[in-house]
């Protein structure tokens, strides 16, 4: 390979495994030119006079070696390094943008699944596995959760020990805002907050005060639910129930 085959001031990358080399002109904005690599070009470049001053090399793969040769006619080492740095940063930035775009497309193709989807359905109280303090325990309770565009609709039908029945309903979102409740003689508002994919908390209010709090935990398989319910001590006798439910549909 003679000196006339390269620009007066240039760099080239020899890739022996691919059988070619790439040359850049003095302007870093020009696109690289790819040409077939003459036989023995790398050996000549690494061993001929002033060419060898700018030689650096690094492994690119098991069968490929990167050789960057700077021809020093009228060009200093700092300028050559600066050009190489600009090319590297440009390549890294392009790769990062491509990966980011791919991630956004993937997110659009796979919309987020609501973390509490396991709660939707009908649940029945298992009184034998539950504890009621001070009691007495409920005779039974059915909870139904339905997905709504503006949150989740909940219906709680409870049969108490003395036989009377309440039918509580509300629709609320997990935004810690206050929503109205109907059918309960004890509380008239509720605020919901999601803790994680399996856990949520509720604050039940009456006349602007906290009446009780509840914490709901779903099992991994979505077939078992535990609710820990505690009334505010300032409201009178403290109720502390741990209620276990099984999904029936």
CATH number at residue 191: 2.40.128.20
Are residues 21 and 82 part of one domain?
yes
Say whether 71 sits in a helix, a strand or coil: coil
Are residues 136 and 64 part of one domain?
no
Residue 31 tokens read as 């696109």
Are residues 195 and 91 part of one domain?
no
Are residues 39 and 87 part of one domain?
yes
Say whether 218 sits in a helix, a strand or coil: strand
Are residues 123 and 104 part of one domain?
no
Round to the nearest angstrom and report the end-to-end CA distance of the chain: 79
Residue 156 tokens read as 């709680």
Domain count, the chain: 2
Would you list the DSSP string of 99-161?
HHHHHHHHHHHSPPPPTTGGG-EEEEE-GGG-EEES-PPPSEEEEEEEEETTEEEEEEEEE-T
- Which of 68, 91, 109 terminates a domain? The answer is 109
Are residues 189 and 67 part of one domain?
no
- Which of 67, 82, 109 terminates a domain? The answer is 109
| pLDDT tens track, the chain, 249 positions | 444 444 433 444 444 444 444 443 333 433 444 444 444 444 333 333 333 334 344 333 444 334 444 333 334 444 545 555 666 667 666 666 565 555 564 555 444 445 568 999 999 999 999 999 998 999 999 999 999 988 999 999 999 999 999 999 999 999 999 999 999 999 999 999 999 989 999 999 998 899 999 999 999 999 999 999 999 987 678 899 999 999 998
Are residues 194 and 175 part of one domain?
yes
Query: pTM, whole model, 2 decimals?
Result: 0.54
Q: Round to whole Å and give the CA distance between 88 and 227.
A: 57
- Which of 74, 109, 144 terminates a domain? The answer is 109
Are residues 211 and 172 part of one domain?
yes
Does residue 136 have a cis bond before it (omega within 30 degrees)? yes
Are residues 238 and 166 part of one domain?
yes
Are residues 92 and 136 part of one domain?
no
Domain of residue 102 covers 3-109
Q: Round to whole Å and give the CA distance between 105 and 1.
A: 47
């Amino acid at each position: 390979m003679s000196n006339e085959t390269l620009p007066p001031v240039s760099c080239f990358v020899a890739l022996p495994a691919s059988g070619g080399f790439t040359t850049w002109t003095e302007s870093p904005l020009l696109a690289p030119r790819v040409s077939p690599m003459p036989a023995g070009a790398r050996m000549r470049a690494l061993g001929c006079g002033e060419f060898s001053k700018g030689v650096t090399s690094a492994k690119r793969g098991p069968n490929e070696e990167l050789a960057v040769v700077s021809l020093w006619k009228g060009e200093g080492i700092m300028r050559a390094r600066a050009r190489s740095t600009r090319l590297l940063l440009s390549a890294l930035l392009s790769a990062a943008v491509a990966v980011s775009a791919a991630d956004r497309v993937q997110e659009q193709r796979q919309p987020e699944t609501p973390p509490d989807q396991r709660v939707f359905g009908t649940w029945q109280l298992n009184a034998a596995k539950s504890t009621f303090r001070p009691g007495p325990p409920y005779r039974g309770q059915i909870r139904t959760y339905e997905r709504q565009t503006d949150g989740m609709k909940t219906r709680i039908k409870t049969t108490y020990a003395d036989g009377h029945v309440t039918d509580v309903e509300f629709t609320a979102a997990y935004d810690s805002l206050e929503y109205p409740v109907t059918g309960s003689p004890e509380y008239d508002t509720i605020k919901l907050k999601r803790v994680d994919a399996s856990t949520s908390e509720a604050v039940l209010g009456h006349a602007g005060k906290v009446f009780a709090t509840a914490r709901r935990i779903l099992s991994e398989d979505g077939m078992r639910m535990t609710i820990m319910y505690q009334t505010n001590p300032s409201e009178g006798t403290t109720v502390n129930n741990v209620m276990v439910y099984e999904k029936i549909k």
